[in-house]
Structure 1
Amino acid sequence: MVKSLTELLRMNGIVKSFPGVKALSGVDLELQSGELHALIGENGAGKSTLMKILAGVYKKDEGRIFIKGEEVVDLDPDSAQKRGISIIFQEFNLFSDLTIAENIFIRREPKHALFNFVIDDRELKRKTREVLDMLDLKLDPDQQVGRLSVAEQQMVEIAKALSMDAQILVMDEPTAALTESEIKELFKVIRNLKKNGVGIIYISHRLEELNEICDRVTILRDGSYIKTERFQDMTMNSLISSMVGRDLSEKFPPKPHTKADRSEVLLQVNKIRRGTKLDVEDLKLYKGEILGIYGLMGSGRTELARAIFGADRVDQFDVRIFGEPMKVRAPYDAIAYGLAYLTEDRKKDGLALDLSIEYNITLPSLEKITSVGVVSDRKAALTSEKYVQDLRVKTPSIHQLAKNLSGGNQQKVIIGKWLAKQSRIVIFDEPTRGIDVGAKYEVYELMYRLVQEGIGVIMISSELPEIIGISDRVVIMREGRVTGELDAEDLTEVGILSHAIH
C-alpha cells in the first residue's frame, strides 16, 4: 500500500511528436511519495519518450507538468536534477575508468577548504561512504567502476541519485541483466527507498516481479494513456490485455505440427574447447526443430555461440554445417557458411544505431545490391521494404534511424538483415530480453516460420517459461559443459534446473 498521499509529480495531457510519428497523445501520470508506480506498455508505447520529457531531454509539445504541486514550464536536464528527478537508464551513465566516489559526485566534488580548485579526497570518500551506508552497500569508494558487476554498477547509479537528493527516481528495466539473488537485493533497496519517501517510477517487461514491489500501475499503448489502477486490483491477464489491446492468454503461439527430422543434421558440434572455460562435444541441431540452450549466469551459453560464430578464439574447433567441416577464423567465415548470430546485446553488437533501417538490413548482403561496386538505391529500397513488411516493423519509413526504434522493432530489423543474407542457421541469444509481451509473441512466430522454411534455429535463453514454451529440445549447460539434454515432452522447470545446478 502507498503510505503517503504527498504528490510528488503530476503530468497531464502530455503530447509529443517526431517527424512522421506521434509518440505521445495526451498521456497522464502521477506519483506519490513512498510509492512504486509501474509504467508499462509494449515497446513503442511511449514510456521512454515520457520519461525523457520528465528528465528534460525532450520538450513536450502540449500538456502540463507539476512537481510537488508547482507547475514547471521548461525542464532541461539540469533543472530536472535540481528538482530531485533522477533517471537510471538501462545503459548506465557511468565512467568505467573512474572510481565509485568519482562517479557518484562527478561535477559536484567537494573542494579543499584552502584551495577551492583542489578536490578534497578525504571528504569525497566520507560523503561516498555516507551514501553507500544509506543503501547498506559494502563497496570500497576507491573501487574502479569498470571492475564492478552489473548489479553493483546499478547500485552505484542509485547511490548517485540519492547523493543528489533525488525524490523522484525512474528505473528503466532495472532487473534485465541481474541474477535472481541480485534482484532480491535490489528489491530490498527499493523497499528502503520507499520507506524514506522516495517515489519510484518503475519500467519493466517482467510483469511477474511487480507483485513484490508495485503499488500502482499506469498502462500506455501506442502513445496513448489507457488507465491507472492499483496493482493489487489487476490480474496478470488483464494487465497484458490492456497493454496489447487484445487477449494474449496464450503467451506462446501454437507449435507447428511438423516434427523434427532427426535423420538430417544441420549443425554438429563434435568438439569446441577453450581452456577450462568451455568444453562442449556431441551437440546437434536437427532440421525442423528449435534447439533451446539453457544455463545459469556464467554457464557458457553465450561463449559457445560466440565460438561457433568465430567471434572468440578457441583451442579446439571441430564443427560441421550441413555435413561440411567448418573452417572459421572470424565471423566473416561463419557468415559465408550461412550462419547468423543475433547477439544478446542488440544495441552494442547487432545494429548500426546511427544508420537507417535500410542500411542495417542490407549491410551484410551488399554484394546482392551492387553492380560494378556501386550500390543500387532501388535494390536496397526493395530489399529493406520487403523485410520491413514481412516482419511487420513499426516505422514511418525505411529511412528511420535504428536508434529511434523500440526494442522489439530493433530485433525485427536484425532478423531482417540475416534473412536478406539468406542465412541457413540462426542463433538467437536472449531474443526477447527487454521487449514486451506482444513483440515476444511475434518473435516466437518468426522462429516457427524460419523452422518451417527449413532454417535451423538455436535459442539461448535464461527465461525458463520461454525455453519450455518454444523449444523442441533443450540442452542444459553448467560451467562451460553440457550437463543434460531433454526433449519437449520431458521439459519441466525442476528438471531443467536440476541439470543446471547439479
Structure 2
Amino acid sequence: MTASGAPAAPPQPVQRPLLEVRNLSKSFAGVRALRGVELDVLPGEVHCVLGQNGAGKSTLIKALSGVYVPDGGEIRWNGEPVELARPADALALGIATMYQELDVVDGLSVTENIFLGHEDARGGVLRIRDGRRRTRELLALLGHDDLSPSAEVGSLSAAGKQIVSLARALSRNARLIIMDEPSAILDSGEVANLFRVIRELTGQGIAVVYISHRLEEIRQIGNRISVIKDGYSTASSLPVVETSRADLVRLMTGRDVANVFPPRKPPSSDAPVALQVEGLGLAGSFRDVSFTVRAGEIFGLAGLVGSGRSEILETVYGARRATSGTVTVEGRTLRPGSVRAAVNAGLGLSPEERKSQGLLLEEPIYRNVTLSTFARFARHGWLNERAEKAAARKQAEALQLSPPDPDRAARTLSGGNQQKVLLARWLIHGTRVLLLDEPTRGVDVGAKTEIYALIRSLAAQGVAIVVVSSEIEEVIGLADRILVLDAGRVLATGNADEMDEHAVLDLVLKGSAQ
C-alpha cells in the first residue's frame, strides 16, 4: 500500500534485449576497425548509432548482417549466443539490412527486386500474380501505392529505389531492421513518411537500428543512442531526451565542434563570368533555367527532391542532352550532351551517387585522382604510375586525405575522404567550374566542416562553384547566391544572406500549390 492507502503500481517487467553485442572486435590487415563495441537493442525501439565516417559503423552493420565474421566478442539474439557466418544466417533470425548505397538491381521490376532471393514459387514456377499482390500491400504500407509493382527499378528516382529497398526488408518478416542513412536521399515529405512507417513498425514490436548523420532526425525518431569513435563505444544506450547535441558531437569527435560555415568572401562585382546558363531546359525535368556564376562565386540550387536540381547539374555537364537553351563556360558555348566538351572547357562534376557514378571503388586512390588526366601521365601509350602516385599524393596532402596512401583502394575510405578524392580529381585537372551534387551526403558532422572549408577555399582561389544539397540550411550557409526551384521551375533567385530556411520552404510550398 502507498501512504495514501492506494495499492502500489506493480513493478514494470524488465524488457529483455532482442539483440546484444558485447566487446565486438574486427581487424583488416592489422588495422582494428572494431575494438570493444557494445550495443543492446530492445524490441519495438529505435536505437540510433552515431559516429564519424571511419568510426566503424559500416563494419558493425556488416558484422550484424553476416557479411563479416567478428574476430572477438559475442552477439546474442533473444539471450542466446549466435554466429552470423553469412547473410543468410542473419536473415533467418529476422535481421534485415537497408544499406546506404542502394542495393536494388536495375533491369528488374519492383516486385522482382523486393522478392529477390526468396521468390514465391511452387513446383519451380514463379507465382507472379501473388508476388505483385504482396508488393502492392507492402508499397501501400509505405505510403507509395502509386508505385507500380511491374515498374523497372532503373527508371525510378533514388528516393523510389530507397522505398523498394525498404519494402524488400519488410518482405523478409524482419524482427530487426538496420537502416543505414535511410533519409540521405529523401526530401522532408519523404522523411516524414519514413518516420511514420518506422513508428508503425516499432508499434508492432519490430526493432530498428537507425544510422544517420542528421542529429535533428535522431531527436525526432530515436529512443536511445549509442556512439562509436575509432571502433570503440564511447557511449551506449543513452536516452535521446536526456542527451544534448553538444554531448553527441563531443562523443563522436572527442572535441567540441561547432557546425558552422566559414565566413563568406563573395567575389568582386567585376569578377569575370565563368559559367552562363541561358533558357536551359530538359523535357520532362525542368525548363527555362537561367543563371550566371562568376569566378570565385558559390551558387546554390535549392529545392526539394524532384525539383530538378541534379538534372540541371547533369545537363550543364553534358551527361544529359538539353532540349533547349545554352551553357557557356568562359565565353565558350558548349555542345549539348557532350561531357568531353564540358571537361575540355574546364567543367567538373561531383555526382550525387559518388560510389556508383563518381569512383572506381576497387581501384587505388591515385588512379581515381588521375582518371580525367591520363594523357598527362602517359608516354607512348603507357601510363607512368610513379608520376600518377606523386601527383595524387600531393593532392591528398593538400586536402588532408586520411589516410594519404595513394595505393589504398577507394572503397576503403570514409564518405568524407571519398568526396576529397573527387575534389582532387578536378583540382589536378585544372577545373575552373565545379558542380557539386550533395557534397556532404553521408558525411559526418566533423568531416562536413572540413568539406565546407575546402569548398570556400576553392572559391577563394577563383573556382566558380555550383552546389546542390537536400539540406536547405547547407545551401544557404555555403552559397553566395541561391536559385530556388520547384518541379523544374525557377521560383526565385537572390543573395543567400537575405534568405533563410523558412523563406525558401515557403517559396517552394507556395510554388507547389500553384
* Matches of 1:319 and 1:201, distance apart in 2: 45
Match of 1:33 in 2: 43
Q: Is 1:394 the counterpart of 2:402 in the alignment?
A: yes
Q: d(CA) in 2 for partners of 1:280 and 1:101?
A: 37
The one-letter code of the counterpart of 1:183 is: V
Q: 2:24 corresponds to which residue?
A: 14
223-232 vs 328-337, which moves further = 328-337
CA drift of 1:380 comes to 0.9
Q: 1:200 to 1:366 in 2, by over 3 A?
A: same
Query: Following the alignment from structure 1 to structure 2, what is the Cα–Cα distance between the partners of residues 451 and 498?
Result: 29
Instruction: Check if 1:249 corresponds to 2:240.
Output: no
Do the aligned residues in 2 keep the contact of 1:45 with 1:222 (CA within 8 Å)? yes
Among 80, 83, 94, which residue is 1:84 paired with?
94
User: Could you tell me whether the CA contact under 8 Å between 1:35 and 1:215 is conserved in 2?
Assistant: yes
1:420 maps to what in 2?
428
Which residue matches 2:6? none
Residues 161-218 of structure 1, C-alpha deviations (whole Å, 9 max, x = no match): 3443321210111111122222222111111111111111111111111222201111
Report the Cα distance in structure 2 between the residues aligned to 1:400 and 1:271, rounded to whole angstroms.
44
**In 1, distance between residues paired with 2:294 and 2:156?**
40
- The one of 374, 379, 382 equivalent to 2:382 is 374
Aligned to 2:233, which of 225, 230, 233? 225
Q: 1:196 to 1:446 in 2, by over 3 A?
A: same
SS in 2 for 1:312: coil
Q: For 2:307 and 2:137, locate their aligned partners in 1 and report how far apart those are by CA, in whole Å.
A: 36
Whether 2:68 is the aligned partner of 1:58: answer yes
Please point out which of 193, 196, 199 is paired with 2:207: 199
* 1:304 has 2:315 as partner: no
Select 1:292's aligned residue among 295, 300, 307: 300
Cα distance change on mapping 1:367 and 1:85 into 2, 3 Å: same
Asked if structure 1 preserves the Cα contact closer than 8 Å seen for 2:84 and 2:90, the reply is no
* In 2: Cα distance, 1:121 partner to 1:267 partner: 51
2:187–2:305 Cα contact (<8 Å) kept: yes
246-255 vs 339-348, which moves further: 246-255
Instruction: Output one character per residue of 1:267-299: Cα deviation in whole Å (capped at 9) or x when no partner.
Output: 222332334643345511123321111122232
Structure 2 distance, partners of 1:200, 1:311, is 38
Change (3 A) 1:135 1:340: closer
- Could you tell me which residue of structure 2 aligns to residue 143 of structure 1? 150
Q: Please show how residues 157-172 of structure 1 align to structure 2 within 5 Å.
A: 157-172=165-180
- Aligned CA distance change for structure 1 residues 329 and 92 (closer, same or farther; 3 Å): closer
| TM-fit CA distance, 1:149 | 5.4
Q: What code does the residue aligned with 2:379 have?
A: S
The one-letter code of the counterpart of 1:51 is I
CA distance in 1, matches of 2:333, 2:147: 50
Shift of 1:120: 4.2
Q: Does 1:47 align with 2:54?
A: no
Change (3 A) 1:78 1:330: same
What TM-score does the superposition give when structure 1 sets the normalisation length? Answer: 0.91
**C-alpha contact (below 8 Å) 1:295/1:477 kept by paired residues:** yes
CA offset at residue 496 of structure 1?
A: 2.3
Change (3 A) 1:271 1:75: same
The alpha-carbon deviation at position 62 of structure 1 amounts to 1.5
Aligned mates of 2:440, 2:23 — CA distance in 1: 31
- SS state of the match for residue 260, structure 1? coil
Q: How does 1:168-179 map to 2 (within 5 A)?
A: 168-179=176-187
How far apart, CA to CA, are the structure 2 residues paired with 1:253 and 1:21?
A: 34
Identity of aligned residues (%): 36
How far is 1:347 from its partner?
1.3
Contact persistence 2:63–2:84 (CA under 8 A): no
- Residue 75 of structure 1 corresponds to 85
Q: Spell out the pairing of 1:411-490 with structure 2 (5 A cutoff).
A: 411-490=419-498
Cα–Cα, structure 1 residues 423 and 109, in superposed 2: closer, same or farther, change >3 Å?
Answer: closer
Distance in 1, matches of 2:38 and 2:263, equals 37
Contact 2:315–2:337, Cα closer than 8 Å, also in 1: no
**Aligned-partner SS, 2:97:** strand
Deviates more, 1:176-185 or 1:277-286: 277-286
What code does the residue aligned with 1:205 have? Answer: H
TM-score normalised by L of structure 2: 0.89
Task: State the AA in 1 paired with 2:318.
Answer: G
Q: Tell me by how many angstroms 1:263 deviates.
A: 4.3
2:317 and 2:339 in contact (8 A); partners too:
yes
**Aligned-residue offset at 1:499:** 3.6
Identify which range, 268-277 or 226-235, moves more after superposition. Answer: 268-277
Distance 1:169 1:78 in 2: 15
The worse-fitting range, judged by mean Cα deviation, of 244-253 and 345-354 is: 244-253
Paired residue for 2:276, among 263, 268, 283? Answer: 268
- Whether contact under 8 Å (1:241, 1:247) holds in the other structure is yes
Q: Name whichever of 244-253 and 90-99 sits farther off.
A: 90-99
CA contact under 8 A between 1:264 and 1:286: conserved in structure 2? yes
Whole-angstrom CA distance in 2 between matches of 1:124 and 1:268? 50
Q: Distance in 2 between matches of 1:3 and 1:192?
A: 23
- Number of the residue aligned with 1:237: 246
TM alignment of 1:182-193, pairs within 5 A: 182-193=190-201
**Structure 2 counterpart of 1:406:** 414
- Rounded to whole Å, the distance in 2 between the matches of 1:219 and 1:153 is 29
What root-mean-square deviation, in Å, do the aligned CA atoms of Structure 1 and Structure 2 show? 2.6
Q: Which runs of 5+ in 2 are unaligned?
A: 1-11
